[in-house]
Amino acid sequence: MTHLIALGFMLQGMCGALFQFIPVAVGGNVWRPKLVANTVQPLLLLGTLLLVAGLSYSRPELLSAAVPMFLLGLGGFVVAVAMALWRTPATGMTLWAMRMAIGGLAMTVLLGSLLAEAVAHGLSLPIIELTNVHLAWGMGGWALMLLAGVSYHVVPMFQLTKPYPDWLTRWFGPALLLLVIAWSSQLFFDSTWLPVAIAIPLLVILSVYAGATLWLQYTRRRKIHDATSLYFRVAMLSMLTFSFSGAVFFLFPTFGVDPRFAVWLGVLAFAGVFVSAISGMMYKIVPFLNWLHLQRLGAPMSAVPNMKKMIPAEAMTGQLRLHVLALCLLLAAVWQPNLARLAGVAFAASCAWLGWNLIGAIRNYQKFRDQIRANALHH
């Protein structure tokens, strides 16, 4: 289940977003983006299905079959994106965060592949420690690093806030990277205090980043309450709750031994932080891509419909409300298991509604494209 969200939703969305974000934000060009996307996406999809089926039904051959899909697909993606990120003449912390994030993705894939092979063939490796380190690279070194780098650019731009403070953008990414590397040392040292000594500063920097983003939203020049801003607020509030509960988890071992705490943190990180932030970004990226592609049809520039007509605002905010309800139910279900079914249905419905809104945007793109072409023939 975790991999269906991490690979099926998060990774697909983040890889796709990079194709758009690299040219727009850092002026870089991914080598033959159509070819890379058309190769990476099917491999990623197939790899995800094999991995999830292999884990769900304990089928070692499926796990082994998934590994080359990820190594080939994501390996190619990492190389293509890394070349674009190192060749661009742009500078700034967004670019550096993206460079670190792509390294984080490479580490996540390598560790994940090793884990899949270890589980499939019963290799004598420290599976729990490897899983912890794989998770830290995936969630911290890749996903959070990318989210932070992108937010330095898009939060001031789309939410009309002041820029992030220089000290924060300069230190957050490198500190996060160092802490993830330090966290990985548990593969080599057996220590009871080391995880706590690393986790606490990690949770502190997460709180600083989330708190700063909320503060920027609170003090912005013009108050905008669109789905993207609200989704970012949900993501940052989830990150603050994650940090606070994580600190309790690590500092008070009596709470830490309760297995429900790990589920609570997982729901906050996946559904609370990343599904929220990525959904919010998709509501900006997909209409913008529609609009940009319609511009390229060669019609008079003002003939292209306004970006707001691509997905109705009410559909986005309605879906956002359902997502928040689903998140609250999922969190409550950790402590009240009788709510689990209802929470699952609400979360599935919210994801389906997100998909429906995005499919609607594609249908609108086709409708506007046909209108523009028909008008061009008419004249």
Partner 1 sequence: MTDHVIDGRELQPPEPMELTLEALDTLPEGDEVLLLLYCQPHPLFSILRNHGYAWTEEVRTDGTREIRIRKQAG
Binding site for partner 1 (CB under 8 A): 23-25, 27, 156-158, 160, 221-222, 224, 226, 288, 291-292, 295-296, 300-302, 304, 306-307
Minimum CB distance to partner 1, residue 189 (Å): 45
* Nearest CB to partner 1, comparing residues 34 and 57: 34
Exposure string for 256-270, b = 16+ CB within 10 A, e = fewer:
eeeeebeebbbbbbb
Minimum CB distance to partner 1, residue 223 (Å): 11
User: Do 304 and 367 meet the contact criterion of CB atoms below 8 Å apart?
Assistant: no
* Nearest CB to partner 1, comparing residues 68 and 156: 156
Minimum CB distance to partner 1, residue 226 (Å): 8
In terms of Cα–Cα distance, which of 108, 146, 145 is closest to 130? 108
Minimum CB distance to partner 1, residue 50 (Å): 37
Minimum CB distance to partner 1, residue 306 (Å): 6
Minimum CB distance to partner 1, residue 75 (Å): 28
* Nearest CB to partner 1, comparing residues 291 and 368: 291
* Nearest CB to partner 1, comparing residues 157 and 362: 157
* Nearest CB to partner 1, comparing residues 25 and 139: 25
The encoded tokens of residue 17 equal: 């977003």
Cα gap 61→167, rounded to integer Å:
49
* Nearest CB to partner 1, comparing residues 307 and 342: 307
* Nearest CB to partner 1, comparing residues 18 and 65: 18
Minimum CB distance to partner 1, residue 303 (Å): 8
In terms of Cα–Cα distance, which of 234, 213, 374, 200 is closest to 317? 234
* Nearest CB to partner 1, comparing residues 94 and 184: 94
- Long-range CB contacts (within 8 A, 24+) of 84-91: 84/22, 84/28, 84/29, 84/30, 84/31, 85/22, 85/26, 85/28, 87/28, 87/29, 88/22, 88/26, 88/27, 88/28, 88/29, 89/27, 90/26, 90/27, 90/28
Contacts of 305 (CB under 8 A, 6+ apart): 291, 294, 368
**3-class SS at 39?**
helix
Q: C-alpha distances in angstroms, 61 versus 8, 42, 51, 53, 130? A: 20, 20, 10, 10, 21
Cα gap 346→13, rounded to integer Å:
21
Minimum CB distance to partner 1, residue 277 (Å): 18
User: Do 289 and 299 meet the contact criterion of CB atoms below 8 Å apart?
Assistant: no
